[in-house]
């Protein structure tokens, strides 16, 4: 019973994060928040796996470092998009426009 809580709840949370990411495509900020939620759920799964296998927690610190860098990159893209286009709607942003 306890093992299903260890693996079932984070997997369910991860799938809910993917569902929110797929269903909400209007604003860039909401998509970035759902991506950060997915990364936090992946960190929870990684932490549970490393604790159950009695591994070192060094890889989890590297994962957190890369996820912080990913979040900073997403926020910088959001700021540059708002400065150039005035909003964060995907409908007003064309990839081919540069």
Contact predicate 96/79, CB 8 Å: no
**pLDDT per residue over 50-73, tens digit each?**
888 888 888 888 898 999 999 999
Domains in the chain, please, with CATH?
2-85 (1.10.287.3510)
What is the structure's pLDDT at 29? Answer: 83
67: which residues sit within 8 A by CB, 6+ positions away? 36, 39, 40, 43
Both tokens assigned to 98: 């540069």
Question: Residues 9-52: pLDDT tens digits?
Answer: 888 888 998 998 888 778 888 888 898 999 999 998 888 888 88
Q: How far is residue 53's CA from residue 51's CA, in Å, rounded to a whole number? A: 6
């Amino acid at each position: 019973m306890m093992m299903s809580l260890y693996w079932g709840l984070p997997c369910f949370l991860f799938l809910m994060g993917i569902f929110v990411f797929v269903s909400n495509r209007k604003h860039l900020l909401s998509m970035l928040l759902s991506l950060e939620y997915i990364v936090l759920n992946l960190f929870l799964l990684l932490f549970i796996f490393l604790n159950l296998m009695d591994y070192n927690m060094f890889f989890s610190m590297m994962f957190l470092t890369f996820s912080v860098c990913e979040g900073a990159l997403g926020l910088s893209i959001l700021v540059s998009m708002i400065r150039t286009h005035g909003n964060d709607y995907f409908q007003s942003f064309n990839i081919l426009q540069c």
